[in-house]
Structure 1
Amino acid sequence: MQLVVTGSIATDHLMTFPGRFTDSLVSDQLESISLSFLVDELDVRRGGVAANICFALGSLGASPALVGAVGQDFADYRSWLERHGVDTDHVHVSETRHTSRFLCTTDTDQNQIASFYAGAMSEAREIELGPVAERLGNVDLVVVAPNDPVAMVRHTQECRERGIRFAADPSQQLARMDGSDVRQLVTGAAYLFTNNYETQLLLKSTGWTQQEVLDQVGCWVMTQGADGVRIETSDGEPVSVPAVAVKDVADPTGVGDAFRAGFLWGVHRDLTVERAAQVGCALAAVVLESVGTQEYELESTEFAGRIARVYGDAAAAEIEPKLAR
C-alpha cells in the first residue's frame, strides 16, 4: 500500500537573532512597523512541508511518493530525497520558476518571523492525481499538506471523486483560504490535522462547531505543543498522548511535519491512533533537537528506547519491530 504526500517543496533559509523580537516593538507604533534584525547565523536547509514529511517517512522505513512542483534547481534536492527512500518520479518541474523558498528568523525565545516565496509551487494546481495513482497502483492514502491553495482543494476533490482516502493538513494556508475552500478541504478527510491556533481558525473560517467538523472527518488530530496531542472522532472517546520532553531545543522548524509523518507512518503500519501519536511525538522531539528539518538520522533501537522511556515498554515492543533497520 502506497502513501502519497502532496504539498510544498522548498529550501529553508534559517537565521538566528541573538535577542528578543519583542524588545524592538513599540506598543503605540505597531501600525507602522519597520524593523531590521542583525542575525548571527544563516543555515540553508532543505524543507517544504511535503518534502519534510516524506523524508521522515523514508527515515522510518516507508517509501512515500512525493507530489509537488519545483524549479530546475531541484536536482540536488531530488538526489537527497531519493537516497532517503522517497519516490520523486511524480514531482512537476517548472520551466520558468524557482523552487519555493522559506525565510525564517528565530529569536532567543523561539519566536519566529518568516516569509515564504511560492515560486514553482503555484504550478501545483496543474497536477492531476489520477495518473499518479495509475502508475503507483494501490494508493492507501493521499496527504494534502500546505501547498498552493487551489491545488489543495483540487487534490481533495479528486480524492473524493476517485474514492481515495486522504488526510487534510491545511496548516498555515488556513489564513489564505476562504470558508468555502476550507470546508471542501476538510469534507471526507480520513484524518484532519491542526494545532491549537489552527483549530480555532478552522472553526471560525468554516462556521462549523467542533462536532460538525467531526461529523465530516474520520479522525481529528489536534497537536498542542508541549501538552502533546488530542485525537477525537465523532463517535468515540478522545485519546490524549503527552509530548516527549526535550532538554535542549535547537530549532522548532518542521516539528509539526515530523509529528504528522510519525503519526501517518504508525497508522500505515496498522498501529492504533494512540501508538501512532506516540511515534509522532517522539519523532517531533528528535526534530526539535536538530537544526533544520531533515538533518537528523534515526536509529531504530535508540528511537524505540526513547518511546519506552516516555510511553512504556509495551508501546516500544509494538512499535520497534515495524521500524526500519
Structure 2
Amino acid sequence: MDKIIGLGNALVDVLAIIDNDEILAEMQLPKGSMTLIDEDKLQKINECFSQMKTHLATGGSAGNAIRGMACLGAGTGFIGKVSNDFYGNFFRDSLLERGTEADLLLSTALPSGVASTFISPDGERTFGTYLGAASTLKAEDLSLEMFKGYAYLFIEGYLVQDHDMILRAIELAKEAGLQVCLDMASYNIVEGDHDFFSLLINKYVDIVFANEEEAKAFTGEEPEKALDIIAKMCSIAIVKVGARGSLIRKGTEEVRVPAVAVGKVIDTTGAGDYFAAGFLYGLTCGYSLEKCAKIGSILAGDVIQVVGTELPAEQWEKIKEEIMLIN
C-alpha cells in the first residue's frame, strides 16, 4: 500500500454549538468561511467560549485528512509547526497515537495554532483561525528527506498565503517522485489568491479536491462545468456537491457518486477532509475511482453526525467492514 504525507496548518479545534448566527455577525465571521484572526480577536472569542460548552479536537484540513487515513490503516505522515505548549502537545500526541509519522517543527516565537469553530443550528461550521506557530512553517524548514518513502503529498489550500513554502514543498515532493494532491480549502481563500491557485493546478498539482463553492470561485461555473474545466488542468478532479454527492473526472472517465443519507447533520466540520481521506485511502489501495468516492462518502457521512472530527474506534471498525462490501 502506498503511503501519503500531509502538509498543513497544525491546529487544534475548539468547537462550540451556537443557538443562532448572531454571534458570527458580532465577531465579523462570514458564515461557512474560514477567517484568519489575530490575538485580539482570539481573546474576544475565548471570552465568549468561556460562557459556553466547548469540545477540543485536533484539526487543520490536512491534519484531519491524514488522521482519517491513519484510522483506516494507511501509512501516513504529517509536516507542520507547533509550539511546545498544551495545544502543540495535544496535536502531536493525537498523530502519534494513530501511527502517523509526525514531522512537527517547533516554534519558540508563537503559541500553537487554534481554530475557534462555531457550529450553527443547521450544522454549518464557521472558523476563526489563529494560526500562531503554524504560520511560521517556511520553505527553508523543508527538506527532501521529509518526502522520501511516500507516494502522495496532500496539501491544504489554507497554506497558499506562503507561496514560497508551497512551491518548495511541491518541488521537493516531485523530486522524491510523489503525486501532489490539493484541497482548495475555502471559497474565500480561492477568491483571495486565484492566480496562485491557477498556477499550482495548471503546472504542478495531480489531484484537486473542491466543493461546489470553491469550484465556482475558481472557475466561475456550476459544478458540472467546473469539473470539466479543472479536469483539463490536472490528472483527477473531484467536485463535492454536498448532499448530492460528488463528481469525479479523470481524462474521459467521469463518475458520479451519491452522498450517504444521514438522519441528522450535527456538524459539517471535517466533511470535506474526511471525503478526501476516504478517496485517497482508496487510491493508495489501487481501487477504482467509483470505489474511492464511495469510501469518501462513507467517511464524510459519518463525521457530520458528530461534533468535531473524532470518531470512536468501534465506528472505524464498522467503516472498514463497509468498505470491504463495496463493489
Query: TM-score under structure 1 normalisation?
Result: 0.81
Alignment match, 1:146: 157
Residues 144-187 of structure 1: CA distance to partner in whole angstroms, max 9, x if unpaired?
Answer: 113432233432344345542111112123243241x1122213
Alignment match, 2:117: 104
Paired residue secondary structure (1:18): coil
| Distance change (3 Å), C-alpha of 1:168 and 1:317 | closer
- Structure of higher CA gyration radius: 1
Tell me, yes or no, if structure 1 residue 63 matches structure 2 residue 75: yes
CA distance in 2, matches of 1:254, 1:48: 9
CA distance in 1, matches of 2:59, 2:90: 13
Paired residue secondary structure (1:65): strand
| Distance change (3 Å), C-alpha of 1:226 and 1:240 | same
Tell me, yes or no, if structure 1 residue 243 matches structure 2 residue 259: yes
The answer to which structure, 1 or 2, has the higher relative contact order (CA under 8 A, 6+ apart) is 2
Residue pairs, 1:33-72, within 5 angstroms: 40-72=52-84
Paired residue secondary structure (2:70): helix
Alignment match, 2:97: 83
Paired residue secondary structure (1:238): strand
2:215 to 199, 220, 226: 199
CA distance in 2, matches of 1:153, 1:230: 28
| Distance change (3 Å), C-alpha of 1:209 and 1:197 | closer
Residue pairs, 1:1-325, within 5 angstroms: 1-21=2-22, 40-73=52-85, 74-88=88-102, 90-126=103-139, 127-133=141-147, 137-149=148-160, 150=162, 151-160=165-174, 162-172=176-186, 173-179=189-195, 181-186=196-201, 187-204=203-220, 211-233=228-250, 235-299=251-315, 302-303=318-319, 306=322, 316=325
RMSD (CA atoms): 2.9
Shift, 1:278, TM fit: 0.4
Paired residue secondary structure (1:121): helix
| Distance change (3 Å), C-alpha of 1:98 and 1:146 | farther
CA distance in 2, matches of 1:17, 1:82: 32
The residue type paired with residue 79 of structure 1 is D
CA distance in 1, matches of 2:143, 2:243: 36
The residue type paired with residue 200 of structure 2 is L
| Distance change (3 Å), C-alpha of 1:300 and 1:118 | closer
Paired residue secondary structure (1:68): strand
Residues 213-247 of structure 1: CA distance to partner in whole angstroms, max 9, x if unpaired?
Answer: 323200101111100000013x3131000000111
CA distance in 1, matches of 2:64, 2:3: 17
The residue type paired with residue 316 of structure 1 is L
| Distance change (3 Å), C-alpha of 1:237 and 1:63 | closer
Shift, 1:104, TM fit: 1.9
Task: Give the conservation status (yes or no) of the 8 Å contact 1:3–1:141.
Answer: yes
Paired residue secondary structure (2:138): helix
| Distance change (3 Å), C-alpha of 1:259 and 1:317 | closer
Equivalent pairs counted in the alignment come to 294
CA distance in 1, matches of 2:75, 2:228: 35
When you count strand as a share of all residues, which structure comes out higher? 2
In structure 2, runs of 5+ residues without a counterpart are: 27-43
| Distance change (3 Å), C-alpha of 1:158 and 1:212 | farther
CA distance in 1, matches of 2:111, 2:24: 35
The residue type paired with residue 45 of structure 1 is A
CA distance in 2, matches of 1:80, 1:182: 30
| Distance change (3 Å), C-alpha of 1:255 and 1:66 | same
